[in-house]
Amino acid sequence: VRNEVQHAGVQYILDSVVAQLAADPSRRFVYAEVAFLARWWRQQDEATRRTVRQLVEQGRLEFVGGGWCMSDEAAAHYGPAIEQLALGRRFLRREFGACGTPRVAWQIDPFGHSRQLAAVFAQMGYDGLFVGRVDHQDKATREQLQEMELLWRASGSLPPPAADLFTGILPNVYNPPSGFCWDQLCSDPPVVDEDSEENNVDSIVSAFLQIAASQAESYRTNHIIMTMGSDFHYENANLWFKNMDKLIAHVNARQANGSRVHVLYSTPSCYLWELHRANLSWSLKTDDFFPYADGPHQFWTGYFTSRPAFKRYERLSNNFLQICSQLEALAGPVAREGPYGPGNSSVLREAVAVAQHHDAVTGTEKQHVADDYARQLAAGWESCQLLVANALASLSGSKENFIFCNGLNISVCPLTEAAGRFTVILYNPLGRRVSWPIRLPVNGASYAVTDPQGQPVPSEVSPGQLPRPPARPAVWELLFQASAPPLGFSTFTVSRLSRGDPRPHPARTPVLSQPQDIQNEHLRVLFDPLTGHLKEIQNLDKSISLPVFQNFYWYNASVGNDESPQASGAYIFRPNSSEPIPVSSSKRVSTHLVKVGGGDGVPGAGGVPRVLSPQPCLLQNALVQEVHQNFSSWCSQVVRLHAGQPYVELEWTVGPIPVADGWGKEIISRFETTLQTDSRFYTDSNGRQILERRRDYRPTWNLSQTEPVAGNYYPVNSRIFIKDKKFQLTVLTDRSQGGSSIFDGSLELMVHRRLLYDDNRGVGEPLVELGANRQGLVVRGRHLLLLDTVESAADQHRLLAQELFMAPYVVLAPGGGPSYRHGQPSLRQFSALRRELPPNVHLLTLTPWDAGTLLLRLEHQFERGESVNGSQPVTVDLLNLFSAFTITSVQEMSLGADLPLNAISRLVWTPAIGPAQPRPVPKLDPSRVTLQPMEIRTFLATVRYKVPG
């Protein structure tokens, strides 16, 4: 819409291309992103639709990729990445049938490529993948060795060739050869072939043949591919097609003089077919394509962290979408047409899908575009909240005035702050019971909390966390530990016992004697009494301890120098020194200790928090213990131990990052330990597989390292860890971040960045995010720390990562609403499962599909060999799993859910190490569904809902 910012009109491209294809049967065009296609399609008349369907059936218009968008591969989590592909593929299948189903994955613009996404493409039935961007050193090596096309083995757990994916690297990213750009946005000369002094046929044909011969040297067969187009091209498709028609005719005419080059319009699937017919064996790759650099000082590793608030909002939005979809599936049609109005999950589904785009969740868009993505997500939340209210009323039997406090992250919720009595409904989207800490802003001094059975739940009132939003009273927080059954909810009642002023705020000045330690039944965390920094973590269950020092630092963003003019920006991370600067100007950080709990365990008793000078004797029955650390006026952290939780929670608050000194800053949280890590560290791939990383090393080529920090950064979607022979320190994240281990025993995560220069990769503006008050963005997030033995670490981090990703969700109500159906008793606790899922099984998807059918994805969430128990195959009885409905029939589908599993037939490629034969699809027994490590199985289930009453 904003042509003054960026002229880009996909609707005009489609209008123009369809007309040009219809004009000449030899022409071809490929199209990738369905979100824009779907909008355009809705506006077309039946005649145009007929034409387009005919073009698709004839293979002249080919859909490639076929996701709702061309997703990012670094910051996108595998859950929403699968869903956005499925959403696009479902549209194509519905509107264009079998010919519209993409056979080729087309990731030509993302900035690096992930192993997990390659495994996803393979399991969706794609024959191959084409990519545009690989590291410049990697590409140079591959061109020399003729390894621009390869076989990518994208899983170490799934038996080959289940996750094998043929991968082709395009010669020129996604652009035409130099001198052959004929769009209205280009300035290359057109082909002039009439009788005139401008006639340039000879020179154009000779230049083209030279380019073709040079390109052919890097590829193994006598077929090569050229991409003729670029960003925003083909609004006037006639320019391209007219000149390409001439080029094809004149190049092929040279065959009469002995030229052996034949040019034709083609598509990626036709090209792939020819490569397959060549019957060659291909080099095997098992790592991934991160990090990506397009020059010696140009590592695209900044976007792993860029726009951290949006990255969190995307993650939360997917979390809520899963809850919304589950409740829609569990309650049935009444969720969409209930007492609260028409509920609709598709608004949020499409918004989350488009947020996976390689210029969305990446943070590499202009500010106004980022604002628009956020606005679309917010609109999706609204329509899903109606659906959730309808579903909860139906399932609980009570028409409450459901309230969604979207401001709980900044301790704002008018209901809990004002009401003397209210109910808290905790919905758990996981397939196992969870215990979850509840924190609600309140103004009373003490409260009584009761669980679904009416039993008292220990609770406390504690001072809320600083900094507080402007113009807000000093609100306190009510804390209690809630538990919810699998795929269900628990309802808690909260009553204010005494209004009283909750005591004057304890002085928030640093206490004279610094806190020494905090402890619960699993962990003890020690602090340096002189500096206030984290010093040591002890795992009491295993009797192990590890010195761990943590601090915040900033890298000074480069503005370019003599070596290279490259500045740090939204895409590119380039510090001007490998040594970061501590955020705190003094060696000491001011700290104070808050212990909440005690009394005799009766709700409200002893509810006054104590800000202590720590004494050797510690309260063991505290609900929560916190050390508040202040590193500077714009950087603070709470180190928190909840009762019963086997991890340390670090809640960091960073911003507004000061830039008045003229320096852009990239903020990291760094952990230093005594672990002997031998240059190795481990990061996840899209929140799923774990990959080993080695500092200053790449598995497939001899790296010449030119950026010792940025060149060792990798995407961290959910976790990063370091280990030695015995112990492992794992940090889990609540959003995608960049991370590394810059020296042995250390581990760091970039949490926020604010830059003053554009990095010249297409955003056209610096990443300065001003935030709501225009002073600079303040971001809050959590790192969860796990210390364990190497053998047991996966048992903890696998389950905890899913708990962070599919977190329970709080809905509030004043209570006392009328019953949903006359005479129906209200349910204070509900589970849609007859029994918990085994710990190594995750319910990835439960969502309505067509009338009377649900889509269900179950996955094994462990890799082969990473856990003695967790990595075993596991069997689930699908027919007796759910109590909310009865499954009457089941069909197993491909991962994309658009094809039955037994209809998937992929091209089989031979790796250089020898062939792997595809296994036949076993007959489905829905009462015995076995999952192997890392396997995802997808089902369409026909269901019958119980008639209430």
Active site residues: 109
423 vs 814: CA distance, rounded Å: 6
Pairing between β-strand 284-285 and β-strand 544-556 as defined by DSSP bridges: unpaired
**Strand residues in 202-283 grouped as ranges (E):** 281-282
Q: Report the distance separating Cα 713 and Cα 230, nearest Å.
A: 29
Neighbour-count burial for 730-739, b at 16+ CB within 10 Å, e otherwise:
bbbbbbbbbb
How deeply is 366 buried, as exposed, middle or buried, from its count of CB atoms within 10 A (0-12, 13-18, 19+)?
A: middle
Bond before 656 cis per omega within 30 degrees:
yes
Q: Is 17:37 a contact under the CB 8 Å cutoff?
A: no
Q: Where are the beta strands (DSSP E) in 230-302?
A: 281-282, 284-285
How far is it, in rounded angstroms, from Cα 807 to Cα 809? 6
For the four alpha carbons of 284, 78, 746 and 787, in that order, the dihedral sign comes to negative
| Beta bridge partners of residue 555, listed in sequence order | 666
d(CA 805, CA 828): 25
d(CA 763, CA 492): 48
End-to-end CA distance of the chain: 52
SS3 state at 27: coil
Element (H, E) at 247: helix 237-253
The amino acid at residue 414 is P
- Please tell me the distance from the alpha carbon of residue 359 to that of residue 232, in angstroms, as a whole number: 15
Which distant-in-sequence residues (6+ apart) come within 8 Å of 411 by Cβ?
439, 441, 464, 465, 468, 469, 472, 475, 477
Diameter of the chain by CA atoms?
100
DSSP 8-state code for residue 521: S
Enclosing H/E stretch for 206: helix 201-216
Query: Cis omega (within 30 of 0) on the bond before 291?
Result: yes
Q: How far is CA 36 from CA 17, 109, 812, 906, in A?
A: 14, 17, 37, 28
CA distances 924 to 125, 516, 768, 878, 891, Å, are: 19, 58, 54, 11, 8
Do 450 and 456 form a contact (C-beta atoms < 8 A)? Answer: yes
Q: What are the structure tokens assigned to 556, written together?
A: 């000074």
CA 671 to CA 665: how far, in whole Å?
19
Q: What interhelical angle do 10-23 and 46-57 show, nearest 10?
A: 70
Cis peptide before 161 (omega within 30 of 0): yes
Peptide linkage before 467 cis (omega within 30 of 0) = yes
Q: How far apart are CA 430 and CA 836, in angstroms?
A: 9
- Angle, CA of 535, 540 and 541, to the nearest 5°: 145
If you search the block for the tokens 């925003």, which residue do you land on? 232
Contact 642, 481 (CB under 8 A): yes
- Taken in order 7, 12, 13, 14, is the CA torsion positive or negative? positive
Structure tokens at 163: 């996750």
CA distance 153 to 122: 10
